[in-house]
Protein backbone atom coordinates (compact mmCIF):
# COMPACT_ATOMS: atom_id res chain seq x y z
CA UNK A 1 0.00 0.00 0.00
CA UNK A 2 1.26 3.49 -0.87
CA UNK A 3 1.05 5.75 2.17
CA UNK A 4 -0.95 8.42 0.41
CA UNK A 5 -4.11 8.43 2.50
CA UNK A 6 -6.70 11.18 2.67
CA UNK A 7 -5.61 13.35 5.60
CA UNK A 8 -8.12 16.17 5.23
CA UNK A 9 -10.97 17.23 2.99
CA UNK A 10 -12.71 20.48 2.13
CA UNK A 11 -15.36 21.73 -0.24
CA UNK A 12 -17.16 24.84 -1.38
CA UNK A 13 -20.55 25.12 -3.01
CA UNK A 14 -21.96 28.43 -4.22
CA UNK A 15 -25.12 29.74 -2.53
CA UNK A 16 -27.28 29.95 -5.64
CA UNK A 17 -29.65 26.97 -5.64
CA UNK A 18 -31.38 26.29 -8.95
CA UNK A 19 -34.25 23.81 -8.69
CA UNK A 20 -35.79 21.74 -11.46
CA UNK A 21 -38.75 24.06 -11.19
CA UNK A 22 -36.40 26.97 -11.93
CA UNK A 23 -35.01 25.09 -14.94
CA UNK A 24 -38.53 24.58 -16.29
CA UNK A 25 -38.80 28.37 -16.39
CA UNK A 26 -35.99 28.65 -18.96
CA UNK A 27 -36.33 25.46 -21.05
CA UNK A 28 -39.16 23.08 -21.83
CA UNK A 29 -38.66 20.46 -19.13
CA UNK A 30 -40.18 19.28 -15.86
CA UNK A 31 -39.13 18.18 -12.41
CA UNK A 32 -40.53 14.74 -13.21
CA UNK A 33 -38.44 14.38 -16.42
CA UNK A 34 -35.22 15.51 -14.75
CA UNK A 35 -35.54 13.48 -11.55
CA UNK A 36 -36.50 10.24 -13.27
CA UNK A 37 -33.75 10.50 -15.95
CA UNK A 38 -30.95 11.87 -13.77
CA UNK A 39 -31.80 11.86 -10.04
CA UNK A 40 -31.08 15.59 -9.91
CA UNK A 41 -33.47 17.84 -7.96
CA UNK A 42 -31.34 20.96 -7.74
CA UNK A 43 -27.87 22.21 -8.50
CA UNK A 44 -25.65 25.04 -7.26
CA UNK A 45 -24.54 27.69 -9.73
CA UNK A 46 -21.84 30.28 -9.22
CA UNK A 47 -23.09 33.66 -8.11
CA UNK A 48 -19.97 35.07 -9.73
CA UNK A 49 -17.30 33.27 -7.74
CA UNK A 50 -14.38 32.49 -10.03
CA UNK A 51 -13.13 28.92 -10.21
CA UNK A 52 -9.89 29.78 -8.38
CA UNK A 53 -11.85 31.31 -5.48
CA UNK A 54 -13.96 28.19 -4.97
CA UNK A 55 -10.86 26.04 -5.25
CA UNK A 56 -8.89 28.12 -2.77
CA UNK A 57 -11.66 28.01 -0.15
CA UNK A 58 -11.99 24.22 -0.51
CA UNK A 59 -8.19 23.86 -0.37
CA UNK A 60 -7.86 25.97 2.80
CA UNK A 61 -10.55 23.86 4.46
CA UNK A 62 -8.80 20.62 3.44
CA UNK A 63 -5.45 21.86 4.73
CA UNK A 64 -7.01 22.94 8.04
CA UNK A 65 -8.72 19.55 8.42
CA UNK A 66 -5.46 17.70 7.69
CA UNK A 67 -3.39 19.64 10.20
CA UNK A 68 -0.57 19.74 7.63
CA UNK A 69 1.56 22.89 7.48
CA UNK A 70 1.03 24.38 3.98
CA UNK A 71 4.79 24.84 3.71
CA UNK A 72 5.31 21.08 3.89
CA UNK A 73 3.09 20.46 0.88
CA UNK A 74 5.42 19.43 -1.94
CA UNK A 75 2.96 19.33 -4.83
CA UNK A 76 -0.30 21.10 -5.67
CA UNK A 77 -2.41 19.42 -8.33
CA UNK A 78 -5.52 21.10 -9.66
CA UNK A 79 -8.21 19.76 -11.93
CA UNK A 80 -10.65 21.87 -13.86
CA UNK A 81 -12.21 22.02 -17.28
CA UNK A 82 -13.37 25.52 -16.54
CA UNK A 83 -10.42 27.67 -15.46
CA UNK A 84 -10.52 31.46 -15.12
CA UNK A 85 -7.28 31.85 -17.05
CA UNK A 86 -5.45 29.87 -19.71
CA UNK A 87 -2.46 30.75 -17.60
CA UNK A 88 -1.38 30.82 -14.87
CA UNK A 89 -2.73 27.40 -14.02
CA UNK A 90 -5.43 26.95 -11.39
CA UNK A 91 -2.87 24.99 -9.38
CA UNK A 92 -0.46 27.94 -9.25
CA UNK A 93 -3.21 30.37 -8.24
CA UNK A 94 -4.37 28.08 -5.43
CA UNK A 95 -0.75 27.46 -4.37
CA UNK A 96 -0.32 31.19 -3.80
CA UNK A 97 -3.68 31.50 -2.03
CA UNK A 98 -2.94 28.76 0.50
CA UNK A 99 0.75 29.56 1.03
CA UNK A 100 2.12 26.22 -0.21
CA UNK A 101 5.32 28.07 -0.95
CA UNK A 102 7.64 25.07 -1.23
CA UNK A 103 5.47 23.17 -3.69
CA UNK A 104 5.47 22.85 -7.44
CA UNK A 105 2.05 23.10 -9.00
CA UNK A 106 0.33 22.07 -12.19
CA UNK A 107 -3.10 21.27 -13.61
CA UNK A 108 -4.21 17.82 -14.68
CA UNK A 109 -6.49 17.86 -17.72
CA UNK A 110 -8.74 14.82 -17.65
CA UNK A 111 -12.22 16.38 -17.55
CA UNK A 112 -14.54 14.65 -15.06
CA UNK A 113 -11.88 11.99 -14.33
CA UNK A 114 -9.46 14.70 -13.22
CA UNK A 115 -9.59 14.00 -9.50
CA UNK A 116 -8.85 10.28 -9.88
CA UNK A 117 -6.02 11.00 -12.33
CA UNK A 118 -4.58 13.59 -9.94
CA UNK A 119 -4.81 11.30 -6.92
CA UNK A 120 -2.98 8.59 -8.85
CA UNK A 121 -0.22 11.04 -9.81
CA UNK A 122 -0.05 12.25 -6.19
CA UNK A 123 0.31 8.73 -4.83
CA UNK A 124 3.13 7.98 -7.24
CA UNK A 125 5.06 11.15 -6.36
CA UNK A 126 4.64 10.23 -2.69
CA UNK A 127 5.71 6.62 -3.31
CA UNK A 128 8.84 7.85 -5.11
CA UNK A 129 9.83 9.87 -2.06
CA UNK A 130 9.91 13.10 -4.07
CA UNK A 131 7.20 14.75 -1.96
CA UNK A 132 5.53 14.04 1.36
CA UNK A 133 2.19 15.83 1.12
CA UNK A 134 0.09 16.66 -1.93
CA UNK A 135 -2.84 19.09 -2.12
CA UNK A 136 -5.38 18.11 -4.77
CA UNK A 137 -7.99 20.70 -5.61
CA UNK A 138 -10.81 20.24 -8.11
CA UNK A 139 -12.89 23.30 -8.96
CA UNK A 140 -15.46 23.79 -11.67
CA UNK A 141 -17.63 26.57 -12.97
CA UNK A 142 -19.18 24.26 -15.51
CA UNK A 143 -22.03 26.76 -15.92
CA UNK A 144 -19.61 28.77 -18.10
CA UNK A 145 -19.65 26.05 -20.74
CA UNK A 146 -23.35 25.25 -20.46
CA UNK A 147 -25.84 26.32 -23.07
CA UNK A 148 -28.97 27.25 -21.08
CA UNK A 149 -31.05 26.93 -24.24
CA UNK A 150 -30.12 23.24 -24.61
CA UNK A 151 -32.43 21.29 -22.32
CA UNK A 152 -30.57 18.01 -22.83
CA UNK A 153 -27.42 19.33 -21.12
CA UNK A 154 -28.29 22.41 -19.04
CA UNK A 155 -30.29 20.47 -16.49
CA UNK A 156 -27.30 18.29 -15.62
CA UNK A 157 -24.54 20.54 -14.41
CA UNK A 158 -23.65 22.36 -11.20
CA UNK A 159 -20.68 24.40 -9.94
CA UNK A 160 -18.49 23.73 -6.92
CA UNK A 161 -15.10 22.71 -5.60
CA UNK A 162 -13.56 19.99 -3.47
CA UNK A 163 -10.06 19.41 -2.16
CA UNK A 164 -8.04 16.84 -0.26
CA UNK A 165 -4.60 16.67 1.29
CA UNK A 166 -2.98 13.28 0.83
CA UNK A 167 0.10 11.85 2.46
CA UNK A 168 1.41 9.45 5.11
CA UNK A 169 -0.21 9.01 8.50
CA UNK A 170 -3.59 7.53 7.74
CA UNK A 171 -4.85 4.97 5.20
CA UNK A 172 -3.42 4.76 1.72
CA UNK A 173 -3.72 3.56 -1.85
CA UNK A 174 -3.90 -0.16 -2.68
CA UNK A 175 -4.32 -0.04 -6.43
CA UNK A 176 -5.24 2.21 -9.30
CA UNK A 177 -6.35 1.74 -12.88
CA UNK A 178 -6.40 4.62 -15.36
CA UNK A 179 -7.40 4.41 -19.00
CA UNK A 180 -8.12 6.78 -21.87
CA UNK A 181 -9.92 6.21 -25.15
CA UNK A 182 -9.15 9.13 -27.43
CA UNK A 183 -10.88 7.46 -30.35
CA UNK A 184 -14.17 7.59 -28.45
CA UNK A 185 -13.78 11.24 -27.52
CA UNK A 186 -16.27 12.66 -30.01
CA UNK A 187 -19.30 11.90 -27.80
CA UNK A 188 -18.53 14.68 -25.31
CA UNK A 189 -16.93 17.82 -26.66
CA UNK A 190 -16.52 21.48 -25.84
CA UNK A 191 -14.61 23.69 -28.26
CA UNK A 192 -11.91 26.14 -27.09
CA UNK A 193 -11.01 29.47 -28.74
CA UNK A 194 -10.62 29.46 -32.53
CA UNK A 195 -7.43 30.62 -34.25
CA UNK A 196 -7.67 34.31 -34.96
CA UNK A 197 -4.84 36.72 -35.86
CA UNK A 198 -4.39 39.62 -38.25
CA UNK A 199 -2.59 37.54 -40.89
CA UNK A 200 -5.22 34.83 -41.14
CA UNK A 201 -6.48 35.16 -44.71
CA UNK A 202 -9.15 32.47 -44.43
CA UNK A 203 -7.84 30.49 -47.39
CA UNK A 204 -5.85 27.96 -45.37
CA UNK A 205 -2.61 26.60 -46.83
CA UNK A 206 -3.56 22.96 -46.30
CA UNK A 207 -6.99 22.46 -44.86
CA UNK A 208 -6.74 18.68 -45.29
CA UNK A 209 -6.70 17.02 -41.91
CA UNK A 210 -7.38 20.14 -39.86
CA UNK A 211 -10.86 19.01 -38.96
CA UNK A 212 -10.81 17.10 -35.69
CA UNK A 213 -13.67 14.89 -36.79
CA UNK A 214 -15.78 16.06 -33.86
CA UNK A 215 -17.85 18.05 -36.33
CA UNK A 216 -19.01 14.79 -37.91
CA UNK A 217 -21.08 14.15 -34.79
CA UNK A 218 -21.80 17.79 -33.94
CA UNK A 219 -21.94 19.83 -37.17
CA UNK A 220 -22.89 22.99 -35.22
CA UNK A 221 -19.70 22.88 -33.12
CA UNK A 222 -18.86 26.56 -33.49
CA UNK A 223 -19.25 27.97 -29.98
CA UNK A 224 -17.84 27.16 -26.54
CA UNK A 225 -20.69 25.07 -25.17
CA UNK A 226 -20.81 21.43 -24.12
CA UNK A 227 -22.02 18.98 -26.77
CA UNK A 228 -22.96 15.52 -25.62
CA UNK A 229 -24.38 12.35 -27.10
CA UNK A 230 -26.13 11.41 -23.86
CA UNK A 231 -26.87 7.80 -24.68
CA UNK A 232 -23.32 7.05 -25.83
CA UNK A 233 -21.92 8.74 -22.72
CA UNK A 234 -24.27 6.69 -20.56
CA UNK A 235 -23.11 3.40 -22.10
CA UNK A 236 -19.45 4.38 -21.84
CA UNK A 237 -19.83 5.53 -18.22
CA UNK A 238 -21.41 2.34 -16.94
CA UNK A 239 -18.86 0.20 -18.79
CA UNK A 240 -15.98 2.36 -17.53
CA UNK A 241 -16.83 2.38 -13.83
CA UNK A 242 -17.57 -1.35 -13.77
CA UNK A 243 -14.33 -2.21 -15.62
CA UNK A 244 -12.16 0.05 -13.48
CA UNK A 245 -13.77 -0.95 -10.17
CA UNK A 246 -13.32 -4.64 -10.95
CA UNK A 247 -9.72 -3.99 -12.05
CA UNK A 248 -8.64 -2.20 -8.85
CA UNK A 249 -10.29 -4.82 -6.66
CA UNK A 250 -8.68 -7.67 -8.60
CA UNK A 251 -5.26 -6.03 -8.42
CA UNK A 252 -5.55 -5.57 -4.67
CA UNK A 253 -6.95 -9.08 -4.14
CA UNK A 254 -10.14 -7.69 -2.58
CA UNK A 255 -13.66 -8.78 -3.53
CA UNK A 256 -15.94 -6.00 -4.77
CA UNK A 257 -18.31 -7.03 -1.96
CA UNK A 258 -15.65 -6.13 0.62
CA UNK A 259 -15.60 -2.47 -0.43
CA UNK A 260 -17.39 -0.24 2.09
CA UNK A 261 -17.93 2.87 -0.05
CA UNK A 262 -18.22 3.51 -3.78
CA UNK A 263 -17.44 7.17 -4.41
CA UNK A 264 -18.08 7.68 -8.09
CA UNK A 265 -18.30 10.71 -10.32
CA UNK A 266 -21.79 12.16 -9.82
CA UNK A 267 -22.95 12.46 -13.42
CA UNK A 268 -26.29 10.77 -13.25
CA UNK A 269 -28.15 8.64 -10.70
CA UNK A 270 -29.02 6.09 -13.36
CA UNK A 271 -25.33 5.52 -14.11
CA UNK A 272 -24.66 4.88 -10.41
CA UNK A 273 -27.63 2.51 -10.14
CA UNK A 274 -26.60 0.56 -13.25
CA UNK A 275 -23.04 0.29 -11.92
CA UNK A 276 -24.30 -0.99 -8.55
CA UNK A 277 -26.43 -3.62 -10.27
CA UNK A 278 -23.59 -4.84 -12.47
CA UNK A 279 -21.13 -4.89 -9.58
CA UNK A 280 -23.66 -6.78 -7.45
CA UNK A 281 -23.61 -4.35 -4.52
CA UNK A 282 -26.36 -2.36 -2.84
CA UNK A 283 -26.88 1.36 -3.42
CA UNK A 284 -26.48 1.84 0.35
CA UNK A 285 -22.72 1.61 -0.23
CA UNK A 286 -22.77 4.27 -2.93
CA UNK A 287 -22.14 7.85 -1.94
CA UNK A 288 -24.85 9.88 -3.66
CA UNK A 289 -25.02 13.67 -3.75
CA UNK A 290 -26.13 14.20 -7.34
CA UNK A 291 -29.64 15.12 -6.18
CA UNK A 292 -28.62 18.37 -4.53
CA UNK A 293 -25.51 19.36 -6.48
CA UNK A 294 -25.93 18.17 -10.06
CA UNK A 295 -22.87 17.15 -12.04
CA UNK A 296 -19.91 19.24 -10.84
CA UNK A 297 -17.46 17.48 -13.17
CA UNK A 298 -14.06 16.77 -11.59
CA UNK A 299 -15.13 18.38 -8.30
CA UNK A 300 -17.84 15.80 -7.64
CA UNK A 301 -15.68 13.09 -6.04
CA UNK A 302 -13.79 15.34 -3.59
CA UNK A 303 -17.07 17.06 -2.66
CA UNK A 304 -18.47 13.61 -1.86
CA UNK A 305 -15.37 12.80 0.20
CA UNK A 306 -15.79 16.00 2.18
CA UNK A 307 -19.45 15.23 2.78
CA UNK A 308 -18.40 11.78 4.05
CA UNK A 309 -15.89 13.37 6.41
CA UNK A 310 -18.52 15.73 7.78
CA UNK A 311 -21.29 13.17 8.23
CA UNK A 312 -19.08 10.52 9.84
CA UNK A 313 -18.89 8.04 6.96
CA UNK A 314 -15.13 8.55 6.50
CA UNK A 315 -14.21 5.87 9.04
CA UNK A 316 -10.53 5.01 9.41
CA UNK A 317 -9.87 1.55 8.00
CA UNK A 318 -12.88 1.54 5.67
CA UNK A 319 -12.18 0.67 2.05
CA UNK A 320 -13.41 2.92 -0.74
CA UNK A 321 -13.34 2.77 -4.52
CA UNK A 322 -13.08 6.21 -6.13
CA UNK A 323 -14.12 6.02 -9.79
CA UNK A 324 -14.21 8.74 -12.42
CA UNK A 325 -15.15 8.94 -16.08
CA UNK A 326 -15.43 11.80 -18.49
CA UNK A 327 -14.55 13.55 -21.69
CA UNK A 328 -11.46 12.39 -23.50
CA UNK A 329 -12.62 9.77 -23.09
CA UNK A 330 -10.95 9.25 -19.73
CA UNK A 331 -11.75 6.93 -16.87
CA UNK A 332 -10.22 5.19 -13.92
CA UNK A 333 -10.51 4.07 -10.32
CA UNK A 334 -8.50 3.84 -7.13
CA UNK A 335 -8.96 1.48 -4.21
CA UNK A 336 -8.04 3.22 -0.98
CA UNK A 337 -8.18 2.65 2.73
CA UNK A 338 -9.63 5.72 4.40
Question: Per CB under 6 A, which region of 77-85, 209-217, 244-252, 265-273 contacts ligand ACO?
Answer: 265-273
User: 108 to 137, contacts with ligand ACO by CB under 6 A?
Assistant: 112
Residue 151 as a binder of ligand ACO (CB under 6 A): the answer is yes
Minimum CB–partner distance for residue 296 and ligand ACO (Å): 9
Query: 167 with 122: CB under 8 angstroms?
Result: no
- Among 233, 274, 308, 323, contact with ligand ACO (rule: CB under 6 A): 233
Count residues near ligand ACO (CB under 6 A): 22
In angstroms, rounded to a whole number, what is the distance separating the alpha carbons of residues 241 and 46? 29
Query: 29 with 23: CB under 8 angstroms?
Result: yes
Residue 267 as a binder of ligand ACO (CB under 6 A): the answer is yes
295 part of the active site:
yes
Query: How many angstroms separate the Cα of 17 from the Cα of each of 23, 302, 318?
Result: 11, 20, 33
Residue 37 as a binder of ligand ACO (CB under 6 A): the answer is yes
Query: 45 with 143: CB under 8 angstroms?
Result: yes
Question: Which residue lies nearer to ligand ACO by CB, 238 or 335?
Answer: 238
- Among 79, 80, 268, 337, contact with ligand ACO (rule: CB under 6 A): 268
Q: By rule CB under 6 A, what string of x and - marks binding of each residue 269-288 to ligand ACO? A: -x------------------
112 part of the active site:
yes
- Among 51, 80, 82, 295, contact with ligand ACO (rule: CB under 6 A): 295
Beta bridge partners of 254: none
Residue 332 as a binder of ligand ACO (CB under 6 A): the answer is no
98-117: buried (b, 16+ CB within 10 Å) or exposed (e) per residue? bebeebebbbbbbbbbbbbb
Question: Which residue lies nearer to ligand ACO by CB, 142 or 173?
Answer: 142
Which residue number places its CB atom closest to ligand ACO?
A: 230
Q: What is the greatest pairwise CA distance in the chain?
A: 63
Residue 38 as a binder of ligand ACO (CB under 6 A): the answer is yes
Residue 231 as a binder of ligand ACO (CB under 6 A): the answer is yes
Catalytic position from the list 141, 268, 295, 307: 295
Query: 101 with 72: CB under 8 angstroms?
Result: no
Residue 305 as a binder of ligand ACO (CB under 6 A): the answer is no
Query: 109 with 115: CB under 8 angstroms?
Result: no
Cis previous bond, 98, omega within 30 = no
Q: Given the DSSP bridges, would you call strands 133-140 and 73-79 parallel, antiparallel or unpaired?
A: parallel
List the one residue out of 251, 299, 245 whose CA is nearest residue 271. Answer: 245
Q: What are phi and psi of 23, to 5 degrees?
A: -60, -35
Residues of the shown chain interacting with ligand ACO in the complex, contacts defined by CB under 6 A = 29, 33-34, 37-38, 112, 151-152, 155-156, 188, 228, 230-231, 233-234, 267-268, 270, 295, 325-326
Catalytic residues: 112, 265, 295
Amino acid sequence: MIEAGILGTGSYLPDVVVTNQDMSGIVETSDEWITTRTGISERRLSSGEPTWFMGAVAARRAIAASGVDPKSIGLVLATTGTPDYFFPSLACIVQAEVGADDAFAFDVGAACSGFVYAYDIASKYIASGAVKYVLIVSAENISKLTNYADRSTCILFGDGAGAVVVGPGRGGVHSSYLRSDGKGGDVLVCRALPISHPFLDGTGRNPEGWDSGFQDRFPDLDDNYIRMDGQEVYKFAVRAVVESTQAVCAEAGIAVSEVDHFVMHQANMRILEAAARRLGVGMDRFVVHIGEMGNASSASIPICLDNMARDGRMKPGDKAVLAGFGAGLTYGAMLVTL
